[in-house]
Chain A
Amino acid sequence: MKLTVSRRALFLSTAVLSLAVTVSGLPTIALAADGTIKLGLVAPMSGPNARYGAFSMHGAELAVKDINDAGGIDGMKIELLNADSQGTPVEGVSAARRLIDQDGVDFIIGDVSSSVTLAIQPVAEDAEVLLLNAASSNPKITYQAGVGGFKWTYRNYPTDENRALIVAKYAAEQRGFTKFAVLSVDSDYGRSAITFTKKYLPDFKGEILSEDYYKEGEVDFRSVLAKIRDNGAQAIIMYGLADTTPIIARQMIELGIAGKVALIGNGEFNTEKTIKSAPSALEGAVEAAAWLPQFDSPESKAFVEKFTATYNEAPNNHAYVHWDTVNLLAAAIKQAGSADKVKVRDALSKIKYKSPVGEVTFDDHNQARLPMILLQIENGKPSIKGAYTADIQYPAN
C-alpha cells in the first residue's frame, strides 16, 4: 500500500515537473516567436488533389526560404505552417480554424479548390485574418469580397470568367469550332466555368451539344465519350482535374476519337506526364492558364530553374502562384512597414507589385488584375499562343 502511494506521488511529481518545464519553456518560445510572421497555408495535402497541394507547399516554401535567407522582411522572418484541407470544404474549414485558433496565424494562403476557398472565407472574416487566395478561380470568391462584402479576402489569381471568355474566343476564331461537348468536374470550379462559357459562346456562334459533369475519383468516361463521338462535337470543353485528364485522354484513344475531337479548357493538358500518357488525344488541346513554366520573362525563368534544382521536378502553375503570392504578401508587409494585419491589408489594397507576369494591382473587389496565357499542344509540346486580359463584369450589388 505504502509503495503504491509513493509510486503515485512519484508519478504525480514527475507529471507536475514536466508540466512546469513546458510552462517555463513557453515564454522562451513566445520570445523567439517575437519578430516572426506566422503564415498559414491551407492546401490539399492528401486526397485526389494532393498533387496540387504538394506543388503549392513547395512553391510557398521556396519563397519563404528565399525571403528568410535574405534576412527576412525588415528583419522579421516568416514561419510557414501548413494545414491539410483534403480538398473538401469541411476539412478546409477545420484546417483554417486550426491555423487561427491553435497556431495563431494572422495570414492564410489558400485553398486550391474553389469550393474550399468559398467555405473558409467566412471563417477568415470572423477571425479578421487576412486570407490570400492564390489558386481558386470561381468568380464568386471576389464577387463577395471587397465592396461585395468580405473585407479580409484577396485573390491573386485570374477568374473562370476570364478563362471561359478567352478559351471560347480562341476556339471559335482560331480553330473554327462551333459544336462543343462539356465534360467538366462536378465542383464550383467546373460548373461555374461552364456557366460563363455559356454566357459568351453565343457571341461566337458556338453551341453545346451535351453536358456532363464527373465526380472526383471517377474513372470510367467511356459512355460519355461514346456519346460525344456520336453527337459530332468538334471539341470537349473540359474544366477538370489534372489527375483525371490522363484517364479521359486514354479512353478517348480507346473510343477512337483521339486527334479528332480536341480538348479545350483547363486541366493540366500541358504537363509532360499528361502528354506522355496519351499523346494522340492531347494533340491540339487548348488550355488557358494563369502561368506556365515556358512563360518568357527573366524572373519567371529564374523561378523555374530554382524550383527544379530544389525539388527535382519542374514547377506547375500551383507552385508558381503560391510562390508569387508569398512574395506579394512580403511586399505588402514591407510596404506597410509592419506585420500588423490591418496595416498589411491596407497596403495590399494600394499595392503595385511587380510579378513575373506583369504589375499586379487590386480592384475594389480585392481581385488582382492579371493576364491569362493561352497555349496549344503542337507535336507533343505546349506552344504559347499569347497572353490575354479580359475585364470582369461584376454583377450589380
Chain B
Amino acid sequence: MLSTIVEQSVNGIVTGSVYAIVAVGMTMIFGVLRAINFAHGEYYMLGTFGAWFSIDYLGLSYEASIVVGVLATIAVAYVVGQLVMRRMVGAPAESGVLATLGIALILQNTIILVFGGGYKFFAGGYIEPVSILGFSLAQQRILILVVCLLVFIGLELMVSYTRLGMAMRAVSQNVECCSVVGIDVPQVVLRTFMLGAALAALSGVLTAPVNVSVYGGMGELITFKTLPIIIMGGLGNVRGTFVAAMILGVAESLVATYVGLQFRDTVGFATLILMLMWRPHGLFSTQARF
C-alpha cells in the first residue's frame, strides 16, 4: 500500500519533470512578453519530429538526434521569433493569443502535410528497466529526472548571474525602464523565446522513447497541461513552475492509480479552474515576475 504510493509518486515526479522543462520555457516567455504562448507544445512536437527524422531518415544515433531535434527547433524558433514574437512587445494581449494560436496551427499542419497525419514509431532511447529499492524505472526516465534538475539549476544560475538572465528579469519587471536605459528589449524577447522553445524541444526528445508514438498533433495536449502549471507556479516564476509541475505530475499519477486513468486529464483542468478562482497569481508569487 505504502510502497504503491511511493512508487506512484516517483512516477509522478518523472512526469512532472517533463512538464517542468516544457512549462518553464512558457513561463519565461510570459515573463518578458506578457503573452501566453499557445504554440509552445508545437516546439515540443518539432523537437520530437526532428529527432525522429534524424533517426529514421538520416540513421543517426539517439544521442545525436537529441542535438538535431533541439537545433532544428531553435532554427524554427528564430524565424518565428524574428517574424512574430519580437513585434509583440507592448502589443495588446489579444494579438499575442491570436498570433501564437496561428503559429500553432501553421506548425502543426505543416508537419502533417510533410510527414502525414499518422503515428510514427520512435525507435531510439533506453527503455530497459532498472530496479531501485524494489521499484522498476526505465533508464530513460532517470535521464529525464537528471536533465530536469540540471536544467533548473542552470536556469537559476542564468537568471541570477548572466547578462541575458538579468536583462530578462529586468524586462519582465518593467519594459519602459529597460528601453530607457538602453536594453534592446526585442532582442531579449527573441532570445528568451528561443531558449523556451529549445527547452520544450529537449523535453520532447527526452520523452519520445517512453511515449513511443510521434504525431503532428502531439503538442496540443502539452500546451494545455502547461497552462495550469504556469498559473499555479505564478506566471513568470521559475522555481514556482518547478514545484507546480511536480505537484501536478504526482497528483495525476495518484488520480490515475486510485480514481481511474480516464480521470487523469481532469486533474490539470480542475487545478486551473481552482487556481483562477482562488489564487490567480499562483501559489508562490504575489505578482507575476521572476
Tell me the smallest distance from the CB of B122 to a CB of chain A, in Å.
9
- Residues 192 to 230 of chain B near chain A (Cβ within 8 Å): 210-213, 215-218, 221
Q: Answer whether residue B269 sits at the interface, using C-beta atoms and an 8 A cutoff.
A: no
In the complex, the answer to whether A246 meets B257 with C-beta atoms within 8 Å is: no
A50 located at the interface, meaning its Cβ lies under 8 Å from any Cβ of chain B in the complex:
yes
Residues of A within 8 A of B7 (CB): 226
Q: Which of A51, A226, A244 contacts B4 (CB 8 A)?
A: A226
CB within 8 Å for A256 and B136 given contacts A246-B212, A247-B213, A250-B212: yes
* A48 at interface, CB cutoff 8 A: yes
Interface string of A196-233 (1 = CB under 8 A from B): 00000000000000011111011111111011001000
Q: Which residues of B contact A250 (CB under 8 A)?
A: 127, 210, 212
Contact A221 B261 (CB under 8 A): yes
- Tell whether, in the assembled complex, residue A254 and residue B138 are in contact, meaning their CB atoms are under 8 Å apart: yes
Find chain A residues with CB under 8 A from B211 CB: 219-220, 247
Contact A223–B253 (Cβ < 8 Å): yes
Task: Out of B117, B131, B217, B257, name the residue touching A45 (CB < 8 Å).
Answer: B117
* CB–CB A215/B260 < 8 A: no
- Give the docked Cα–Cα distance between A45 and B226 (Å): 28
Give A236 to B216 CA distance when docked, in angstroms. 29
Which of A45, A54, A226, A230 has the largest number of chain B CB atoms within 10 A?
A226
Q: Which one of A183, A230, A246 contacts B121 once the chains associate, using CB atoms below 8 Å?
A: A246
The SS class assigned to the A binding surface is mixed
The contact of A212 among B119, B212, B262, by CB within 8 Å, is B262
Which residues of A sit under 8 angstroms from B127, Cβ to Cβ?
250, 253-254
B90 close to chain A: CB less than 8 A: no
**Complex Cα–Cα for A47 and B116 (A):** 10
Q: In the complex, are the beta carbons of B262 and A186 less than 8 A apart?
A: yes
**Alpha-carbon distance A223/B15, docked complex (angstroms):** 11
Task: Please name the 10 residue pairs, one residue from A and one from B, whose CB atoms are nearest each other, closest first.
Answer: A46-B117, A50-B117, A223-B256, A243-B119, A51-B118, A212-B261, A223-B257, A219-B211, A50-B118, A254-B138
A residues touching B (Cβ–Cβ < 8 Å)? 45-48, 50-51, 54, 183, 186, 211-215, 217-224, 226-227, 230, 243-244, 246-247, 250-251, 253-256, 273, 277
Query: Which positions in B face A, CB cutoff 8 Å?
Result: 4, 7-8, 11, 15, 112, 116-119, 121, 127-129, 131, 136-138, 141, 210-213, 215-218, 221, 253-254, 256-257, 260-262, 264-265
12 contacts between A and B (CB under 8 A): A45-B117, A48-B217, A214-B261, A219-B213, A223-B8, A243-B118, A250-B127, A250-B212, A254-B137, A254-B141, A277-B121, A277-B212
